[in-house]
A = this chain, B = another copy of it.
Amino acid sequence: MKCKKCGNKAVIKLRAHRIALCREDFLSFVLNRVQQTIKRYKLFVAKERVVVAVSGGKDSLTLFDILQRLGYPVEGFHIDLGIDGFSNRAREAVEVFFAKREAPLHIRFLREEVGAGMREIASQVRRPLCSLCGLMRRYIMNRFAWEKRFSALATGHNLDDEGAALLGNLMRWQIGYLARQAPVLPAIYPRLAKKAKPLALLSEREVLAYCILRAIEYHDEQCPYAKGATSRSNKEALNLLEYYSPGSKIRFYQEFLKHQGIFPDSASHDLRECSMCGFLTNRETCQFCEILEQYTGSPVPVRDSETGKG
């Protein structure tokens, strides 16, 4: 198997793109792909201040590595969820990764922010742990990005994540979600930061191969509370279609983006400021504040979003 670009020995075959590539050309391919994604979908421009949400897993560390190599002035943001040993090991992987690089890393501890770890909160709140965790992480990330005046919050969602979410939304015909699933979600004034997914056109396998070829030491451990069978089965179904017809996954996602305008977005019009924290929600009180209230038994004080501690 020879590299299609240079003729040297290839290390990876990409059936979806009908090419095989050597190490160097594969790494360039990945960088170009991310740069294309950023430009084609207008994720951000060269001098924007971008913060990358880093969990410590392969996707987020790869994303940080790539954005830094492409010359974007990125910083990292990690949330320590306070889950037994799991969160310690995740944070350590992030700290080791950043210690080798010249880039600021911001860390927030859930225990310090709200007084408890994710499991303790989940035990008091009627909501599945994974959904609770996703909701709280999204809130804290957005609040951090907004308060620290970052122009965009970048996350490591890859093509498999986005394809699985798309398939899941289609299986249930969740029109609102279909209208809002994109590589970039613009900021909404006030207090909703722009979200960007620069890895959206790279498959999980491509990201993993990049991570391995760069010898990035990522945190390779499933959360002890992870279930996520739905997203796994959607990924499996797409992998099956990809196996029979290479290129299906990327076409599915990109053609969707071309036709996405078909789906009417009604929910965005209903946004208002949360009565407690002031961040945007489609309810009277946002779900984050509701959860904290359920957990602590008392309302959380409204914090000035422009002067929050950093």
Interface residues in chain A, defined as those with a beta carbon under 8 Å from any beta carbon in chain B:
170-173, 175, 229-230, 232-234, 236-238, 240-241, 243-245, 248, 251-252, 255-256, 258-259, 262-264
Smallest CB separation, A284 vs chain B (Å): 29
Asked if residues B173 and A258 are in contact (CB atoms below 8 Å), the reply is yes
Specify which of B175, B232, B248, B251 is in contact with A262 (CB 8 Å cutoff).
B175
Determine how many copies of this chain the complex contains. Answer: 2
* Other A-B pairs, 19, CB within 8 Å; known A172-B252, A173-B259, A234-B241: A170-B170, A170-B252, A171-B248, A171-B252, A172-B251, A172-B255, A173-B252, A173-B256, A175-B262, A229-B244, A230-B244, A230-B245, A233-B241, A233-B244, A233-B245, A237-B238, A237-B240, A240-B240, A262-B262
Chain B residues whose C-beta falls within 8 Å of the C-beta of A262 in the assembled complex: 175, 262-264
Chain B residues whose C-beta falls within 8 Å of the C-beta of A243 in the assembled complex: 233
Residue on B with the closest CB to A259?
Answer: B173
Residue on B with the closest CB to A239?
Answer: B237
Complex Cα spacing A241 to B175, Å: 20
Smallest CB separation, A150 vs chain B (Å): 34
Asked if residues B244 and A175 are in contact (CB atoms below 8 Å), the reply is no
Smallest CB separation, A41 vs chain B (Å): 17
Chain B residues whose C-beta falls within 8 Å of the C-beta of A173 in the assembled complex: 252, 255-256, 258-259
Smallest CB separation, A128 vs chain B (Å): 15
5 A-B pairs with least C-beta separation: A173-B255, A233-B244, A237-B237, A171-B252, A237-B240
